[in-house]
Chain A
């Protein structure tokens, strides 16, 4: 369904050019969940934003490669086609729900906006908004939909973000660090909710995270990104159980284990790894 072929993304030009993504290839099949794992600055969020060309151009610049969605190159699409793609086919959930929702609009109007854009055939918008909120586990959605974002907790706000993304029944959900800003118990709830929704809707998902700890139960495959390249890719169980690349080993080694003898937390030696890549 989605295929990245040798995709390169630069920021800036000339002397100030930074190569954020250096020729990565990745594919996501219908209904599949792929986790894109890497530390901050590895290019994983840039890759996620690039799927619908959300990066501001300039400074972003697609230096090479292709992004194929259902066989069509996203990089060749005009503004109208891109708008239909964004939200309609590929929807996003971002990291920080408290700033990602518009503070001056109600939950209802923000979800309704997405519905108007991509599903104008929906007659009873309110009922559909309630349905979406219900799907992400919001209690008494009819009351909550007239709330403004600041009246909701962080977990609730992220549920609203997910509801908004799901409202237009996308084929692919890009979840960019969806649980990083939330506390641990809420993290588990949200991940569980996402897993359930995936089962119900059968949509594909690209889960972008720095945390190997959360992908176990949810991702079919993992791609590990380091300095703009994918250094390892494979089935989740294989990569977690038997990592091949030194960076993957180092990242997995950074997860603190419960019950382990107290020790210094592992850090990653970037210079040594950089020489390897």
Chain B
């Protein structure tokens, strides 16, 4: 088990390196560092100012490899940045010059406040609904619920957002439809609507998926055995079906954990929540490559960590799986 984990952690290095290389190439294929500097500094910037800007941030170096012969081959923009990231130094924003570690620490909290409640409420509701639909499967209510799920899935998130903001702010005049302030418990009033929308927009797809998953379990031989033992339908579902379905559920759930920290780009933008999703969105527009790079770096590490956690959870939930 420990050997397995160490081996897996070892693989993180080439994978993250590949992801970073891809991000770097994609970003600078679209625009050169020079173009980036001009966009940040504005059209009236003097060539001298642009040169200084590039020099201060290391963008005057060759992009991937240094083949000028005047400096070692690894003295390039990309490799210098990689060296910095390898020491877990996220660097500074290209635009504001603020240390990014600070920026991310600040942004993580609003993101988590939005995504974590939405994630757990959504998951709990989906599992409960799905189990209930399996319990009453093939009835009229089940059919109606399946239709409702398809309807929920088919509506784009934007529609939920606009309709939700209109309903809550204009019609009910209840709590703020936009904005965010960290002020203890009353922060909740800013989060209620986006959390509810995030739950509703994900519910249709999840309920359908989980329902299908549990129905498939219902057809297994061991479910017949459980029924033949005299186990009640409810307990068959809650014990035998659920424990087996859990194995599939873990894949979906754990793999989505990194996205909780990285925030919801769309919702954060629409509701003016200063989370990480919002920061990434503005960074791409700015353009602030340092922020994009640091986000991708943290995101890929979190994603890989999530996958590793999935494997560990598998081994915990399924006695047939051993990590070797």
Contacts and interface: CB of A to CB of B under 8 A. Distances in A.
B229 to A, nearest CB: 4
Contacts of A100: 221-222, 224-225
Interface string A82-106: 0111111001101010011111111
Interface stretch (B50-58, B169-177, B189-197, B316-324): B316-324
A164 B224 CA distance: 14
Given A99-B221, A102-B240, A104-B244, A86 B228 contact: yes
A114 interface: yes
Contact of B225 (A52, A94, A150): A94
A117 interface: yes
B244 A103 contact: yes
A94 B223 CA distance: 12
Given A103-B319, A104-B243, A54 B222 contact: no
Contacts of A58: 138
B222 A52 contact: no
A118 interface: yes
Contacts of A192: none
Contacts of A103: 222, 244, 318-320
A67 to B, nearest CB: 15
A86 B227 contact: yes
Given A100-B221, A104-B244, A118 B230 contact: yes
A148 interface: yes
A11 to B, nearest CB: 14
Given A83-B230, A86-B229, A113-B229, A150 B224 contact: no
Interface in B201-260: 220-222, 224-233, 240, 243-244, 247
A117 B243 contact: no
A87 B229 contact: yes
Interface string A61-94: 0000000000000000001000111111001101
A85 B247 CA distance: 32
A148 B222 CA distance: 13
B39 to A, nearest CB: 56
A117 B239 CA distance: 14
A212 to B, nearest CB: 25
Interface string A103-138: 111100000011001100000000000000000000
Residue among B240, B243, B319 with max Cβ neighbours from chain A (10 Å) = B319
A92 B231 CA distance: 13
A145 to B, nearest CB: 14
B243 A105 contact: yes
A93 B240 CA distance: 18
Contacts of B227: 54, 86
B230 A85 contact: yes
Contact of B224 (A84, A91, A94, A118): A94
B316 to A, nearest CB: 11
A150 B320 contact: yes
Contacts of B319: 103-104, 106, 148, 150
A105 B241 CA distance: 12
B232 A101 contact: no
B14 to A, nearest CB: 34
Contact of B231 (A101, A106, A117, A161): A117
B222 A83 contact: no
A191 to B, nearest CB: 21
Contacts of A150: 319-320
Nearest to A95: B221
Given A84-B230, A87-B229, A94 B244 contact: no
Given A85-B230, A113-B231, A114-B230, A92 B225 contact: yes
28 contacts: A54-B224, A54-B228, A79-B232, A83-B232, A84-B230, A86-B227, A86-B228, A87-B229, A94-B221, A94-B228, A102-B222, A102-B225, A102-B226, A102-B243, A102-B244, A103-B244, A103-B319, A104-B317, A104-B319, A105-B243, A106-B319, A113-B231, A114-B229, A114-B230, A117-B230, A148-B320, A161-B225, A164-B225
Given A83-B230, A106-B319, 6 more contacts: A96-B221, A100-B225, A101-B225, A102-B244, A113-B226, A114-B229
Interface of A: 52, 54, 58, 79, 83-88, 91-92, 94, 96, 99-106, 113-114, 117-118, 148, 150, 161, 164
